[in-house]
Amino acid sequence: MKNIVYILEDDASICGLIRVALEMNGIAFESFSSCAEFEAALSKEQPDVALLDVMLPDGNGFDVLKKVKAEYPSVCCIMLSALGKEEDKVNGLNLGADDYVSKPFSVLELTARINAALRRRRRDNLLKVGDLALDYDSMAISLNGQALDLNRKEYELLKYFMENAGKVLKRETLLTEIWGYESGETRTLDNHVARLRKMGITNLETIFGVGYKLNV
């Protein structure tokens, strides 16, 4: 999984220190000195971690934070601010910040916090249900460590089962969520479940007259 950090910081000296630290740790990054530049880049590609200064020439980092969390909630946001009072930290955390680092700060400590955030990000992007593992980044599902050869609908169906493991899922719900229609006589769903079972997914239970359940 590619690690990339976006730095929104208008102080060139601070930005330079962070960039050197990330380079030494082999972490890819892009840096921006204005909210406009940052938001333009964000709309094209989302980072794993965003370092956000608070006081910026064309805006406020807290406003950027709210926008990021509203549109891209999986992006981990670490605030970098000279506003080190308790109420400022509480405000940032209440707005959705994953961490808050007061200036001046230790570059080593900041790097450690970034690495911790990246580890959480990797863990959050992996869903495990029994012997099944779903990697959201690569859109791959493995069984007992072996990648399954799934077509698009098989992947979407198994992903939906995993995200709702332990729940009884009605046929109508599965047809709507995966195929986009609610009713109609079709063996499509049953055929796909049969193929998943042939791949070794034996914990897919048929709930007669209702639908299916992935047992955990």
Domains in the chain: how many in total? 2
Same domain, 140 and 197: yes
Domain span at 196? 127-214
Same domain, 112 and 97: yes
CA separation for the pair 188, 205 (Å, rounded) = 17
User: Among 82-86, 180-184, 208-212, which stretch is predicted with the lowest mean pLDDT?
Assistant: 180-184
* Of 214, 124, 216, 159, the residue nearest 150 (C-alpha): 159
Number of residues that make up the chain: 216
Same domain, 72 and 138: no
Q: What is the CATH number of the domain that holds 98?
A: 3.40.50.2300
Domain boundary residue among 86, 101, 124?
A: 124
Query: What confidence tens digit (pLDDT) does each residue in 111-161 have?
Result: 999 999 988 877 777 888 889 999 887 889 999 999 999 999 999 999 999
**Predicted local distance difference test score (pLDDT) of residue 152:** 94
Query: What confidence tens digit (pLDDT) does each residue in 8-31 have?
Result: 999 999 999 999 999 998 889 999
Secondary structure (DSSP) of 21-81 = HHHHTT-EEEEESSHHHHHHHHHH---SEEEEESEETTEEHHHHHHHHHHH-TTSEEEEEE
pTM tops 0.85: no
CA angle 152, 158, 178 (to 5 degrees): 60
Domain boundary residue among 124, 153, 183?
A: 124
User: In 3-state terms, the chain is what percent helix, strand and coil (to 5)?
Assistant: 45, 25, 30
What are the C-alpha distances in Å from 94 to residues 74, 87, 97, 135? 16, 10, 7, 29
**Predicted local distance difference test score (pLDDT) of residue 184:** 60
Share of the chain above pLDDT 90, in %: 69
Same domain, 206 and 188: yes
Q: Is the pLDDT of residue 1 over 50?
A: no
Mean pLDDT score, 86-115: 91
Same domain, 190 and 84: no
Domain boundary residue among 93, 124, 155?
A: 124
Mean pLDDT score, 193-201: 97
Same domain, 20 and 81: yes
Same domain, 18 and 100: yes
Same domain, 108 and 137: no
